[in-house]
A = this chain, B = another copy of it.
Amino acid sequence: MTPYRPRILVTNDDGITAPGIRMLVSIARELGDVTVVAPDSPQSGKGHALTLTDPLRLTPSDVFDGVKAYECSGTPVDCVKLAKHVIAGEDSFDICLSGINHGSNASINILYSGTVSAAMEASLEGIDSLGFSLLDYAHDADFSQARDHIKSIIEKVLKDGLQDCKLLNINIPNLPKAEIKGVKVCRQAAGSWVEKFTEAIDPRGLPYYWLTGDFVHQEHADDTDLYALEHGYISVVPSGHDLTRYPALTSMKYIEL
């Protein structure tokens, strides 16, 4: 009897030709039957955006030799919705892998991240979902350093399943393989960006603004993802979609009066 091969959905936000998704597909095909649905253009910072007012295109792609793949004109969340409802149909997927993103999805960056939003969308569909990011913004980032760790995490999740959550936000420090100390399960750190806008004049004489900024850590508690990453660990934050601030359910009662 052929052993069961898990059905693996792979997506990302950097687009189907990005190096990070190539690495993820190369790992995933060793572990199961892979379907790729990824954006046809970079979608960084798209958060949980979906496309309501325009049609979506889904085009077969041969970017990954021997792997069923489609490029999609929409956002990362659109990719997951189309993968689930148009491509998989009744079959669905056992796991969704998103990334590997360039840069950090740690702390509050999870809110802006198309990578994690794609994984979260799959988790809302009941699929165990993992979002990966490497803390290296360079296009030629070396994704191989964490290959063994990533594969091991996916294998563990395929074996034991996610417990008390459906989504892991996984960030990998930008270190050589030998310097990665291990994996830490941790909470999302508080943090913020100090925003700046570059203001300039375009060739037609009109002003424009372009976003830039620096991430500012707000806390360094040793149970946070920022701490783990700063100390050479891969951070794994079990995540969900409940934004309720429970302590405020009592203190904000005054608004009912």
Seen from chain A, the residues whose Cβ lies within 8 Å of a Cβ on chain B are 42, 44-53, 55-58, 75, 77-78, 81-82, 84-86, 108, 110-112, 117, 120, 124-125, 153, 156-157, 160, 162-165, 167-169, 182-188, 190, 192-193, 195-197, 199-200, 202, 206-211, 223, 236-249, 251-256
Contact = CB atoms under 8 A, between A and B. Distances in A.
Contacts of A195: 81, 84-85
Give chain A's interface secondary structure class.
Answer: mixed
Given A85-B196, A112-B48, A209 B255 contact: no
B236 A86 contact: no
A27 to B, nearest CB: 16
Contacts of A243: 110, 169, 188, 237, 239-241, 243
Contacts of A244: 187-188, 237-240
A49 B45 contact: yes
